[in-house]
Amino acid sequence: MKTLVTVSLVMIVAFLYGLDRGSFVSEKEDVRRLAVERIRSAPMDYEKVMVSAEKRVRVLHEEFSSGGEVNSVALEEDLRRLRGACQKMQRTATLGKVPAEDPEARALVEKKWVRYQSETRLLRDQVLEKTATPREVKGGERPGGEGPPSESRVYWETIGAFIELRERTILDLLYNTPPGERGLNEALLRDEVALLKACEITPKKTRGVSVRVVVPQEHSLKADPDVQTFYRSLDLVPDAQPIRSGGFLVPVGARTVTLRENKAKMVFRPRRGKGVAYLGQSETEIQYGYVAVPPDTAYYFENIGPEPLELEYVGLKP
């Protein structure tokens, strides 16, 4: 009787938390299959695939342990098997003996991608619902008679949710290319661009007419800014590494989509062209010098010159 009670309790816990052994074993096999498939198709991705695959296996063990102590022996054995399978495929692919595509892996990629697309559509629908006018809202008014949320709130809720979804999807797919797409990063960027544009609720001021909207990630540049000069522009001592740095261009007749930062003070410097920096309610023409954007400040850049506006940037801790 005691044994039956114990087994029943285990089954109840597994049912409540989704930690049954069958799912655990199946998920581990999915990770191995997807990791091997990505290395088969892109051997140069071996290092990053292994980092993500091992992270996923560790998370699975933590979930299976239901908050208890992870079986370190079993974990190391699973990691050893994963590494062995991936190393074998890397050696095979490096020698030019690339095997055929694994149909089961491709079916997994398609299944996970369909789920991602469903969640992305839900995010877009939520943005439309949040930004709808009272006349467009079903029933004619919002719950509790509330007015539309601020653009800042819509931005952070939407982009925060998308970033979480994007990172989870990369981990789920282990960098495998979704069906019908050129690459995973390109597909994720396309959806991010659409969401960023959808988050612009209010009309934006511009100098030009019929100015098209672009996203910096779509027009990134190879840039290696001199970080020290960016620190000195703010009278700061360059005693820490920047959060990120890089560059992008704004095409003629275009402006960037409205962006915000919550964990960085962004500093921009034009290296070519002429533009306008819109920061909150202010605007400043830029052709040289530095422009600092405080955290959680809405900003965008408009190209008002006859050539592309090229900008370098450094993100600093606020």
Going by pLDDT thresholds of 50, 70 and 90, the confidence category of residue 141 is low
Q: Is the pLDDT of residue 302 over 50?
A: yes
Q: Is the pLDDT of residue 122 over 70?
A: yes
Rounded-to-integer distance, Cα 305 and Cα 286, Å: 11
Percent of the chain with pLDDT over 70: 89
pLDDT, one tens digit per residue, over 210-230 is 999 999 999 999 999 999 999
Tokens at residue 24, please?
């655990």
Q: Is the pLDDT of residue 13 over 70?
A: no
Q: Is the pLDDT of residue 301 over 80?
A: yes
Q: Is the pLDDT of residue 140 over 60?
A: no
Going by pLDDT thresholds of 50, 70 and 90, the confidence category of residue 66 is confident
Q: Is the pLDDT of residue 135 over 90?
A: no
Tokens at residue 34, please?
């997807």
Residue 306 near residue 300, CB atoms below 8 Å: no
Which amino acid does the sequence have at 206? T
> Other CB atoms closer than 10 Å to residue 147's CB: what's the count?
8
Task: Give me the pLDDT at residue 129, please.
Answer: 87
Q: Using CB atoms within 10 A of its CB, is residue 309 exposed (0-12), middle (13-18) or buried (19+)?
A: buried
Tokens at residue 146, please?
């509330």
Comparing 317 with 270, the larger pLDDT belongs to: 270
Q: Is the pLDDT of residue 68 over 70?
A: yes
Q: Is the pLDDT of residue 16 over 80?
A: no
Q: How high does pLDDT run on average in the chain?
A: 89
Q: Is the pLDDT of residue 264 over 60?
A: yes
Rounded-to-integer distance, Cα 89 and Cα 95, Å: 10
Q: pTM here?
A: 0.84
